[in-house]
């Protein structure tokens, strides 16, 4: 069974006002001093962000328990210095991002200017193990049309700098300002994949291989496919659903490749439209069907995803839980819907942040 790991980026906020706080360095120092999770937490581009990474897991219940654990540990370390964490993909409240001091982040700021300062956004990356680069690239080619569906499931960023954006995932629109971000064309082989990345680095527009911010890519550090389209999810159970569906998609793609079934030859221009549609409406209206790239109700597309990955989900023991989680998500909504309902109920973006802090920790 393929292992799965999750990286989550969390927003550090004041527990009273909800304002983002640039205290990541102090939180990381606390974690290192305590010895709790010192190999789990990492700094990010801005001081208002804290990242953690789970260990590889085969059982989704274990993965969910670890996500909950590190969210609680993040909150505990943050609480020791007067802040807390929120699983919000963008800050609902206005914020002036504070760049983390290191050479790499300074290069980004100088190279991309004001665009770098807009990147205070929190994502969720899912790593699924693969046997080889050959298998990994074959999977990347076959994942492409399904990735917007994962983005719609995770959508959790309707507000930006104190305003309603009219998007379910505004984070994804901000993230795609990086020159290397977004969907990719078919690669066909590991050689073509690595040559494409090397050519991008040689252009001088990106610094290195790790800056190839594809929607899904071969990890530079692990034997995994890294799926990078998701917002950080408000609730841990949604993150587990995203990881479950991601593993199902990876295993299904690998089986299709071994069976000689070709990758769908959708154009990048249409895949960009599918990603935009997912970001705009989340699960509230139509998505673009991954097979036809024509509008179809989001619930129908999610059920098509369950059917597409059904054999893989069943063999991993995930099918029943995935179906129940999808049904619950369609009833209650993703993080974007919850945030909007909180604002409608309270009339205050500060209250939205306060409530999301509680949801983050379950």
Q: What is the DSSP string of 223-273?
A: SEEEEEEEEPPSSHHHHHHHHHHHHHHHHHHHHHHHTTPPPP---HHHHHH
DSSP 8-state symbol, 146 = G
Question: What token pair was written down for 302?
Answer: 């999610």
Q: What is the pLDDT of residue 37?
A: 67
4-13 and 84-86 strand pairing = antiparallel
- In the chain, which residue ranges form alpha helices assigned H by DSSP? 24-34, 60-79, 103-112, 114-117, 133-143, 147-154, 170-175, 190-202, 236-258, 268-281, 298-308, 310-315, 319-332, 335-346, 349-360
Task: Report the length, in residues, of the chain.
Answer: 362
Q: What does pLDDT average to in each consecutive run of 10 residues of the chain (362 residues)? A: 97 97 95 80 96 97 97 96 97 96 94 94 98 98 98 98 98 97 98 98 97 97 97 98 98 98 97 98 98 98 98 98 98 97 98 97 82
Q: What is the pLDDT of residue 280?
A: 98
Domain boundaries, the chain: 4-360
Question: What token pair was written down for 144?
Answer: 């492409």
Question: What token pair was written down for 152?
Answer: 């719609």
Cα first-last separation, the chain: 28
Cα Rg for the chain, rounded, in angstroms?
19
Q: What is the pLDDT of residue 35?
A: 77
- Distance (Å) of CA 85 to CA 27, 159, 228, 316, 357: 11, 17, 21, 32, 6
DSSP string, 295-342: EEEHHHHHHHHHHHTHHHHHHTT-HHHHHHHHHHHHHH--HHHHHHHH
Q: What is the pLDDT of residue 293?
A: 98
| CATH no. for 4-360 | 3.30.590.20
Q: What is the pLDDT of residue 38?
A: 66
Q: What is the pLDDT of residue 236?
A: 97
| CA 318, 324, 329, 330 torsion-angle sign | positive
Q: What is the pLDDT of residue 27?
A: 95
């Amino acid at each position: 069974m393929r292992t799965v790991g999750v990286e989550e980026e969390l927003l550090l906020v004041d527990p009273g006002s909800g304002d983002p706080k640039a205290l990541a360095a102090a939180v990381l120092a606390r974690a290192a001093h305590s010895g709790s999770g010192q190999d789990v937490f990492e700094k990010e581009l801005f001081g208002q962000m804290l990242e953690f990474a789970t260990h590889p897991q085969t059982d989704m219940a274990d993965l969910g328990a670890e996500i909950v654990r590190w969210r609680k540990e993040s909150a505990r370390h943050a609480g020791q210095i007067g802040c807390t964490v929120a699983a919000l993909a963008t800050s609902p409240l206005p914020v002036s991002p504070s760049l983390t001091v290191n050479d790499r982040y300074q290069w980004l700021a100088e190279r991309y200017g004001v665009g770098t300062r807009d990147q205070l956004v929190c994502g969720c990356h899912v790593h699924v193990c693969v046997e080889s680069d050959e298998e990994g690239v074959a999977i990347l080619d076959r994942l492409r049309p399904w990735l917007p569906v994962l983005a719609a499931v995770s959508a959790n960023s309707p507000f930006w700098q104190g305003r309603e954006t009219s998007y379910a995932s505004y984070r994804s629109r901000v993230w795609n300002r990086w020159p290397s971000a977004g969907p990719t064309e078919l690669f066909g082989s590991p050689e073509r994949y690595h040559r494409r990345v090397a050519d991008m680095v040689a252009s001088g527009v990106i610094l290195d291989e790790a800056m190839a911010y594809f929607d899904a890519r071969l990890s530079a550090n692990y034997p995994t496919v890294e799926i990078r389209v998701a917002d950080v999810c408000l609730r841990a159970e949604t993150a587990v659903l995203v990881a479950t569906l991601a593993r199902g998609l990876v295993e299904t793609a690998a089986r299709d490749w071994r069976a000689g079934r070709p990758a769908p030859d959708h154009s990048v221009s249409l895949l960009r439209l599918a990603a935009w549609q997912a970001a705009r409406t989340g699960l509230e209206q139509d998505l673009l069907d991954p097979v036809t790239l024509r509008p179809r109700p989001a619930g129908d597309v999610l059920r098509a995803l369950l059917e597409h990955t059904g054999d893989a989900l069943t063999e991993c023991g995930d099918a029943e839980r995935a179906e129940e989680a999808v049904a619950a998500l369609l009833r209650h909504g993703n993080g974007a819907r919850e945030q909007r309902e909180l604002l409608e109920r309270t009339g205050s973006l500060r209250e939205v942040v306060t409530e999301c802090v509680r949801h983050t920790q379950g």
